[in-house]
Amino acid sequence: MASSGADHAVWLRGIEKQFPGVIACAGADLRVRPGTIHALLGENGAGKTTMVNVLAGVYRPDGGEVWVNGQQRFFHSPADAIAAGVGMVYQEFRLVPNLTVAENIVLGSAPGLLRTNEIEERVAELSAAYGMAADPTRPVWQLSMGERQRVEILKSLWRNASVLVMDEPTAVLTPGEAAELGATLRAMAEEGRSVIYISHKLDQVVAFCDEATVLRQGKTAATVDNLQDVDLTSLAEMMVGTSGGGYVDRPPPRDRGPEVLSLQNISALNDRGLPALADINMTVHSGEIVGIVGVSGNGQKELAEVITGLRRPAQGRVAVNGQDVTRASPGDRYGLGLAYVPEDRLGVGLAPKMSVVDNSVVRSYKSQRRGLLLVMDRCVKFCQTLVERFGVRVGRLNDPIAGLSGGNLQRLLLGRELAEQPAVLVAAQPTRGLDVQGVAAIQSHLVEQRANGVGVLLISEDLDELQALSDVLLVMYEGRVVGEYPPDVTPRTILGSAMAGNPPT
Amino acid sequence: MSEAALVGLFVATVQFGTLVFLAALGELIAERAGVLNLGVEGMMAMGAVSGFMVGLETGSPWAAFFAAAAVGALVGGLHALVSVVMGADQVVSGLALTIGGLGLAAYVGRNVVGERPETLFTDLGIAGLADIRWFGDIFFNQPPVVYLAVLLGLAVWFVLARTRLGLALRAVGESAPTTDAVGHSVMALRSAAVMVGGAFAGAAGSFLSLYMAPGWTEGMVAGRGWIAVALVIFGAWRPGRLALGALLFGFTLALQPRLQTFDIEILGLDVSSISPALLGILPFVLTVVVLVIISWRHRHRPSVAPAALGLPYRREER
């Protein structure tokens, strides 16, 4: 082991960091050689994001040392980290939508007087030099997610960063864009820069990266010096500690019941007024799980919103339980048996600052009210029933719900939505970001609902989950359903090319 | 209506316009940096009383003007401390500033009510231009603060649009985490913006007590601070539109006391019978109308208002 950080681009040594009630890092190490692409792996909550935020000067570590390019550093702010050559591309981009590409790139390192034309020219030169197309004059809100990521990378290159940190970079990209990103990162590594690459997509990690560090529960669990020497399965095992955990058993096929949800010729616009859904036709029957496959941003969010009444379709018809609900309010649809677990669970699904009790009764207070008054005893009792039945771990029921972990939030939300025995459940990314136990719990509830005759529309980015749970898979690409596949006999390669817009015929 | 009365109306329009423009320009700076300051009314009162008292003491209107700006900056600093540094609710802090500022101004000025300073701002009378019929009096024979306000408006536009500082200010008003991550200090930018904004409001207040209504009486700001807050929205957070809106709002303010002396009929309606109180709400009605129009036009785009307006920022929150 090296005795100093001199020969490393980055050396994070024995990093410790606590947040109220959470130990994020408990003495984790990370060493990155210059000119390499280094994967930082681990489950949600393993401490990856905390580690890179320490490196980026966002968090100050409670203990441990930070070395960059052979020098020990004490970052007091992101500015210090930038000055030391650390560039960070966050998962949720740190771009200002109302500013132009050029303004975003020079923000923080602009000259005192802005000569807009000159800056735009230099940004165009930089983007041409690295083969990353980006029109410097356009406001960022008009850009796709892939373009925004390019702007983020250009921002770091503009500052001549020697270390680039990428947090889940391909989550928002199409497979083609992801391949381009891989090439860009390789070009940067060949110039002697280092890249720290955080991802859950192990196949991409193996394809893009040279070496890896695996974190588990805030500690370094394993390091891999050459990723060519290991296979995907052993990488996955390093991350979770055991292999094959997480997924519930595949439910046996069953006869499907009557139609409970149908969409006919649905088209809709997104928030920006651009077409998001085009001519969607689909049906969900009682007792089946229909899985929606696709890279996020291909209309899944708008689809869920049109079904639940949060977005008005431009044309087409939505029916729940045989009744036309195209113009019905979300409340009316709920009354007809439509339940919804939204992608944004803390925001759309639950109100962060309201208590656990208030959040559990806010959907429908039929049984908890007397006339115009809410009967608090009944509310608390109802909440307790949900907590027990769905195994939610909570502190006090009157504390704000934002204090719950992701898995417990989702258990409560799902419990609330299932409380009145719905006919249809729309679940958007129900297991995203949960730990293994949480995923297993949510998935077994979905399967149980299917057995009870509920029709489930499952929108997910996790192909394993979709293939394990669904009775039929629909692939969405650019707002259309481009293919329908049986889940168990369809090879990944076929699903993959359908997700990229080229369904094999 | 006589020619003199008409010229007088427009002279007053420019002056009232200057009054609300100065205060609104300060509020625009703070809001573009993401800090809502509802304390403008209180800051103007503090500026009015402190400017007037320094004027009494020194006899120099400029010393008074800058003293008022300094007091405004100080009061702004208080808002910055509470809402930017300590992250308290900006609406609550701003309202407290208005209520507290009005009260404190009344207390501080209780012994100077009814006095008159020896020297006030005098009209500038730009040589050669001031004698032009009508336009001379309206545009070229105004007190120096009017021309200073024009220069300040241009300066604010230039700084926001064409400098590193302006880019940072606009960015911190749109997204504090982003601006923090590129190495600008969110706290310094926002605090500075609020303090400069306070200085503008304080200076505006002294223009009131040193020129427009020389003297100090409790309640003399009379809601012009709220008009300034509305004007920022009316101007869609842009200095140019702010200037146009200031003239329009200034016109309604100038018209209000004169309305009943006007012997004009428009479409059979006797203008002098219109209640000045109704005219007084016109700026707010116009603001709401403009707000509705711009929200509708931007329904598929990011809002015109700075996206982080009113949101406090703390770094290590997760």
pLDDT tens digits for range B167-211: 999 999 999 988 988 888 999 999 999 999 999 999 999 999 999
Residue of A nearest to B171 (CA): A96
Quick check: B316 and A59 CB within 8 A? yes
Does the pTM surpass 0.80? The reply is no
User: To probe the interface with A, which of B165, B170, B318 has the most A CB atoms within 10 Å?
Assistant: B318
In terms of CA atoms, which chain B residue is nearest residue A22?
B318
Select the residue of B180, B302, B316 nearest A141 (Cβ to Cβ). B302
A113 touching B (Cβ < 8 Å)? yes
Residue A98 forms contact with B (CB below 8 Å): yes
B 81-100 residues with CB < 8 A to A: none
B155 and A CB contact within 8 Å: no
Tokens linked to B164 = 């590193």
Question: How far apart (Å, rounded) are the C-alpha atoms in residues B244 and B250?
Answer: 10
Q: Which of A53, A62, A93, A96 to mutate to test the interface with B (most CBs of B within 10 A)?
A: A96
Instruction: Say which residue the tokens 């009870």 belong to.
Output: A452
Report yes or no: A496 and A490 within 8 Å, Cβ to Cβ: no
Looking at beta carbons, which residues of chain B come within 8 Å of A97?
Answer: 174-175, 302, 307
Q: What token pair was written down for A14?
A: 């024995």
Which among A98, A109, A123 is the top mutation candidate for probing chain B, defined by the most B β-carbons within 10 Å of its own β-carbon?
A98
Give how far A413 is from chain B: nearest CA, Å. 21
Task: Please tell me the distance in Å from A23's CA to the nearest CA on chain B.
Answer: 13
**Phi, psi angle pair for A64, to nearest 5°:** 105, 175
Q: What is the pLDDT of residue A4?
A: 52
A79–chain B Cβ distance below 8 A for any pair: yes
CA distance A270 to A290: 23
Break chain A into its structural domains and give their ranges. Answer: 10-240, 259-499
Could you tell me if A112 lies within 8 Å of chain B, comparing CB atoms? yes
Strand order in the sheet with A22-32: A22-32, A10-19, A63-68, A71-73
Is some CB atom of chain B closer than 8 A to the CB atom of A346? no
Reduce the DSSP state of residue B91 to 3 states and report it: helix
Which pLDDT band, with edges at 50, 70 and 90, does B282 fall under? confident
Residues 6+ apart with CB under 8 A from B137: B7, B11, B130
Using an 8 Å CB-CB cutoff, list chain A residues near B183.
77-79, 82-83, 108-109
Strand order in the sheet with A86-89: A86-89, A163-167, A194-198, A37-41, A211-216, A219-224
Residue B177 at interface with chain A, using a CB cutoff of 8 Å = yes
**B106 within domain boundaries:** yes
pLDDT for A358 equals: 92
Residue B206 · residue B53 · CB < 8 Å: no
**Measured between alpha carbons, how far is residue B220 from residues A409, B46, B112, B205, B280 in Å?**
54, 11, 14, 9, 15
The CATH architecture assigned to A259-499 reads 3-Layer(aba) Sandwich (3.40)
Q: Do A113 and B163 touch (CB under 8 A)?
A: yes
Residue B156 lies in a domain: yes
Residue B42 and residue B98 in contact, taking contact as beta carbons nearer than 8 Å = yes
CA–chain centroid gap for A476, Å, is 17
* Binary contact (A99, B170; C-beta < 8 A): yes
- A491 close contact with B: CB closer than 8 A: no
Kindly give the residue spans of alpha helices, DSSP state H, lying in A56-115. Answer: 78-83, 101-106
Residues 246-275, chain B, touching A (beta carbon < 8 A):
none
Flag whether residue B314 sits within 8 Å of chain A, measured between CB atoms.
Answer: no
Q: Which of B130, B125, B149, B136 is nearest to B17 (CA)?
A: B149
Residue B215, sorted as left (phi over 0), alpha (psi -120 to 50) or beta, turns out to be: left
Q: Say if the Cβ atoms of B167 and A99 lie within 8 Å.
A: yes
- A94, B299: Cβ pair inside 8 Å? no
Per DSSP bridges, beta strands A194-198 and A163-167 are parallel
- Collect all residues of chain B within an 8 Å Cβ-Cβ radius of residue A106: 167
B179 touching A, CB under 8 A? yes
Is B167 in contact with A82 (Cβ distance < 8 A)? no
Q: How many CB atoms lie within 10 A of CB B228?
A: 31
A77 within 8 A of A57, measured Cβ to Cβ:
yes
Count the alpha carbons within 13 Å of B151 in the hemisphere toward its beta carbon: 5
Cα–Cα distance between A3 and A65 in angstroms, integer?
Answer: 13
CB contact under 8 A, A98 and B307: yes
How far apart (Å, rounded) are the C-alpha atoms in residues B29 and B23? 10
In a domain, B110, yes or no: yes
Half-sphere exposure of A241 (CA within 13 A, CB side): 11
CB neighbour list of residue A12: distance below 8 Å, 6 or more residues apart: A28, A29, A30, A31, A51, A54, A55, A64, A65, A66, A67
CB-based contact B22:B231 (threshold 8 Å) = no
B246 occurs within a structural domain: yes
Whole-number mean pLDDT of chain B? 91
Nearest to A114 among B164, B171, B182 (CB): B164
pLDDT digits (tens, 9 = 90+) for B225-275: 999 999 999 999 999 999 999 999 999 999 888 887 877 777 777 777 778
Structural tokens at position A196: 């720290």
- Alpha-helical runs (H) found in A36-174: 48-55, 78-83, 101-106, 116-129, 145-158
Q: What architecture is domain A10-240? A: 3-Layer(aba) Sandwich (3.40)
Residue B104 covered by a domain:
yes
The distance of B269 to chain A (nearest Cα, Å) reads 45
A21/A18 Cα distance (integer angstroms): 8
Residue A226, H or E segment: none
Return the DSSP state at A170.
G
Q: Which long-range contacts (CB under 8 A, 24 or more apart) does B7-13 make?
A: B7/B134, B7/B137, B7/B138, B8/B258, B9/B254, B9/B255, B9/B258, B10/B134, B10/B138, B10/B254, B11/B137, B11/B138, B11/B142, B12/B250, B12/B253, B12/B254, B12/B258, B13/B247, B13/B250, B13/B251, B13/B253, B13/B254
3-class secondary structure per residue, A369-402:
EECCEECHHHHHHHHHHHHHHCCCCCCCCCCEHH
Q: What is the pLDDT of residue A244?
A: 39
Whether chain A has a CB inside 8 Å of the CB on B300: the answer is: yes
Q: How many domains is chain B partitioned into structurally?
A: 1
Contact between B68 and B205 under an 8 Å Cβ cutoff? The reply is yes
A314: nearest Cα among A257, A266, A368? A266
CB-CB under 8 Å, A103 with B163: no
The residue of chain B nearest to residue A50, with distances taken between CA atoms, is B318
Sequential pLDDT tens for chain A (505 residues): 444 556 899 999 999 998 765 678 999 999 999 999 999 988 766 788 899 999 999 899 999 999 999 999 999 888 889 999 999 998 778 899 999 999 999 998 888 888 999 999 999 999 988 888 889 999 998 888 788 999 999 999 999 999 999 988 877 777 678 888 999 999 999 999 999 999 877 778 888 999 999 998 788 988 999 988 887 767 766 776 543 334 566 667 777 889 999 999 999 998 767 889 999 999 999 999 999 988 767 899 999 999 999 999 999 999 999 999 999 999 999 999 999 999 888 888 999 889 999 999 988 777 788 888 888 889 999 999 999 999 888 888 888 888 887 788 999 999 999 998 999 999 998 987 677 778 888 999 999 999 999 999 999 877 788 888 999 999 998 899 999 999 887 787 788 778 777 787 6
CB B105 within 8 A of CB B49: yes
Q: To probe the interface with A, which of B163, B182, B309 has the most A CB atoms within 10 Å?
A: B182
- Residue B318 contacts A where some CB pair is shorter than 8 Å: yes
User: Would an 8 Å CB–CB cutoff place B317 in contact with chain A?
Assistant: no
Q: Do A106 and B167 touch (CB under 8 A)?
A: yes
- DSSP bridge partners of A214: A41, A222
Q: Which residues of B touch A111 (CB under 8 A)?
A: 164
3-class state of residue B183 by DSSP: coil
Smallest CA-to-CA distance from A39 within A223, A175, A229 is with: A223
Residue contact A107–B318, C-beta within 8 A: no
**Nearest CA to CA, how far is A314 from chain B (Å)?**
15
Is the minimum CB–CB distance between B46 and chain A shorter than 8 Å? Answer: no
With CB atoms and an 8 Å threshold, state whether B171 touches A111. Answer: no
Minimum distance, in Å, between the CA of residue B90 and any CA atom of chain A: 19
The verdict on A114 touching B (C-beta cutoff 8 Å) is yes
B315 is a domain residue: no
CA torsion B291→B293→B296→B300, rounded to 10°?
A: -80
A60: left (phi over 0), alpha (psi -120 to 50) or beta: beta
Q: Does residue B116 sit at the A interface (CB-CB below 8 Å)?
A: no
pLDDT digits (tens, 9 = 90+) for B7-40: 999 999 999 999 999 999 999 999 999 999 999 9
Instruction: Give contacts of A112 with chain B, Cβ < 8 Å.
Output: 163-165
CATH of the domain at B165: 1.10.3470
* Nearest beta carbon to residue B180 from set A78, A103, A110: A78
- Rounded to the nearest angstrom, the minimum Cα separation between B197 and chain A is 21
Contact B178 A111 (CB under 8 A): no
For residue B228, give its domain range: 3-297
Contact A272 B167 (CB under 8 A): no
User: How far is the CA of A360 from the CAs of A304, A335, A337, in angstroms?
Assistant: 21, 17, 17
